[in-house]
Structures are given as structure tokens and as C-alpha cells.
Amino acid sequence: MTGPITVTFYDGLSSLPKEARVQWISMELLEVEHESVRNSWLIKDPRFSWEATGGSLRLSFGTPPQVVIITDDLAKRQFQEHFQRTAKHRKADATVPLLFSRPVLFLLSLAAVGIAAYIWLLPLLAGWMATLLPVDADRRIGEAYWTSMAPTLKLDTARSAALQRFGDRLQLAPDFTLKYHVAVDDQVNAFALPGGHIVVYTGILDRMKEPGELAGLLAHEGTHVQLRHSTRSIMRELSGAVFLSLIIGDVGTLATLVAEHADNLRGLAYGRGLESEADAVGMEHMAAEGVDPQGMLALLRLLEREAKDMPEGLSFLSSHPLTTERIASAEEKAKALGHTPSKDVELERLFEALKQPK
């Protein structure tokens, strides 16, 4: 028997290949050492399998499966001869890296199809699948994100309470209970989580001069929640990672993907179509609540002005792109909805309380 030998190793938790050393401890026991951690693999164990494919020898053990790839010719031959006498031979399963289980020509064809699916098909499919989930899934996802994200924000509880009262005056997402938060930060920014958490930074809040601007912002973000734009965007972003994990047979990373993306949601980017939809539907909600939809236009013009002096990464527009077409569409929508001439006294009072919390 040969050993120790250097092999390619997948630990079942990460999609990245690592270097490890393998040697025999006994006729039925292998030792796999990676970063000073040693694990014993009993080849009689039902969780152990081996497969000789594509010029390599693949060994798999455990749940989630750890995988060893042996490419040294002498070691392959000696290991395989021993396994043929002592260990059960199994065909490659869903956890087998495809790069070690198919002929080269087939792999090239598969790679071409895979790249096309990764770039175009999977994100579209993932976004569509998100709409099939029950709305309670948005709430659960949003709460998980919020639990992870909240400790990283400097929340102003007094202004958050005032913002909640302002938002509650409007009915912006009928299927969800919106929860509003004010975060102390100079960024001219805001974002919405799936299920209802909406965060507004003081950087944008303090630049507002009228309640219509704030109503427009909350209507825009509330529409993202109601129409599940955040969930659809998250699914599209995660689709690539899911695809890569399946290609290399590593399902262990999927369990950690949601937590890893929690902080990225602050800058979750929406496409032009979703942004225009959030503007238009948000303006409809504003008009239905007796708020002049021109407030949305005032917000867009405020953002356009501030974007010139604000670094891109700190601007609302870095994740909510503003285009000439978007402003023109909002102007047309405002004209179609008409103006609301009378001021909402209660909304004015709530806005002033929010600007100067006690």
C-alpha cells in the first residue's frame, strides 16, 4: 500500500478545493489530514464510496460528503486494487464533481450549456420561482436577515418610532406589516428587506424638506416589499452560487448562503424595470391615501441632486438606478393620477415630529 500521498480535498462545507494528505492506518482504515485535522475513514462504512472516472480516483465519505480526488497513477492503481477486494464500488452520485466523472468532450458541451444557463436562464428561473413561494416565506427570510443585520446598524429608536407612525398613516403594502427603522448614517440611502423591514438612513432623511418626499420614499420601498422585488432579486443573486455548488457537488455551502448575503442587502441592486414599477405602483398607493404623487417626483429630483456630491457607493442611486426614462415615466404617471391639492395635516405633523424628535 502507498502513503501518505497528497490529494485534492473537498471538505463538504466549501466549494473550494484544498490540499490534504491521505494514508492507510490499517487494511480497512484511511486517515485524511487537512490543516492539522485528521479524520479516519472506514472503508466498510456505508457512507464510504469510491469511483474511478476521468483518469482520477474519487473517494467519498460522510454526510455531507467529504471528497478526495487522487490523480497520481501509482497511488490510483494501488488504491483501486485494494478497493476492488475490500470496498463497495458505487457510481458517481449528485455530490460527485462532474469534472471528474465525464469524458472531456461531454464536459466541454456541458460547460457551454452550463455557462449559458448560469448567465441567462438560472437568474430568470430563480426570480420566477420566488413568486411561487408563499408570502410567509418573505417574512421568514426578512426576519432572518434583520436578526443578522440589526446589530450592525446604529438605530435611532426615537426617530424609528416617529417613522413608524408616519408609515402607519399610509397603507403601502397590503399583504405585509411594514416595520420602519431609522439608522444613523450619512449615506443618502434606504433599503427594504423581504417581508417588511424598511431602513432609512439619516443621510437621506435629514435632506428632505417636505412629507411628500418621505411618503414617496416609503411608497417606493413598500412597493418593493409588496411586489416581492427583494425576494426575487435575492433569489437571482443566489442562483449563481447555487449553480456552482451543484456543479462541483458541494451542497454544504448552500446552508450558509443566506447568512452570508445579509449585509449585501443594503446595496441590493434592482433593475430598471423593477425601479420604474416601484415608482409607478408607489405613486398609485400615495394617490389612494390622499397624498400628492408629485412627492415621488420631488424625491427623485432630490436624489438626482444629491448623487452629484455623494460617492457612488453611499448613494441610494447605487442600488436604485435613476435614469432619464425613469423620471419621465414618473412625470407621466403623476399627470395621469392628478394632483391632490389639499395638504394632509396629520402627515405634516408626523413629518415635523420625525424631523425634530423629542
* 327 pLDDT tier (thresholds 50, 70, 90): confident
Query: Which of 71 and 213 is assigned the larger pLDDT?
Result: 213
Residue 63 has pLDDT above 60, yes or no: yes
User: What is the mean predicted confidence (pLDDT) over 101-123?
Assistant: 47
**pLDDT at 244 > cutoff 70:** no
Predicted confidence at residue 118, as pLDDT, reads: 45
Q: Which of 234, 228, 127 is nearest to 175 (CA)?
A: 228
User: Could you tell me which residue, 322 or 89, shows the higher pLDDT?
Assistant: 322
pLDDT reported for residue 15: 57
Q: Looking at per-residue confidence, does 307 or 304 come out higher?
A: 304
Of residues 236 and 151, more confidently modeled:
151
Residue 251 has a pLDDT of 37
**pLDDT score at 253:** 44
Q: How confident is the model at residue 136 (pLDDT cuts 50, 70, 90)?
A: confident
Report the candidate in 161, 158, 281, 133 with the shortest Cα–Cα distance to residue 219. Answer: 281
The CATH number of the structural domain formed by 5-100 is 2.30.29
Q: Return the pLDDT at 98.
A: 42
| 171 against 356, higher pLDDT | 171
- Using the predicted structure, report yes or no on whether residue 239 has a pLDDT greater than 50: yes
Contacting residues for 274 by C-beta, under 8 A, at least 6 apart: 224, 227, 229, 232, 233
Map out the domains of the chain as residue ranges.
Answer: 5-100, 135-355
pLDDT of residue 264: 52
Whether the per-residue pLDDT at 14 is higher than 70: the answer is no
Kindly give, in sequence order, each residue whose CB lies less than 8 Å from that of residue 250, ignoring residues fewer than 6 positions away: 10, 12, 14, 15, 95
Residue 107 in this model has a pLDDT that exceeds 80? no
- The mean predicted confidence, pLDDT, of the chain is 75
Please check whether residue 292 is in contact with residue 170, taking contact to mean a CB–CB distance below 8 angstroms: no
Mean pLDDT, residues 272-288? 87
Report yes or no on whether pTM surpasses 0.85. Answer: no
Q: Is pLDDT larger for residue 97 or for residue 271?
A: 271
Q: For the chain, percent helix, then strand, then coil, each to nearest 5?
A: 50, 15, 30
Identify any residues that bridge with 182 across adjacent strands, giving them in sequence order: 200
Q: For the chain, give the percent of residues with pLDDT over 70.
A: 66
Range 11-29 average pLDDT:
81
Q: pLDDT tens digits, residue range 21-62? A: 999 888 888 899 988 888 889 888 888 888 876 578 888 888
Q: Give the pLDDT band (50/70/90) at residue 146.
A: confident
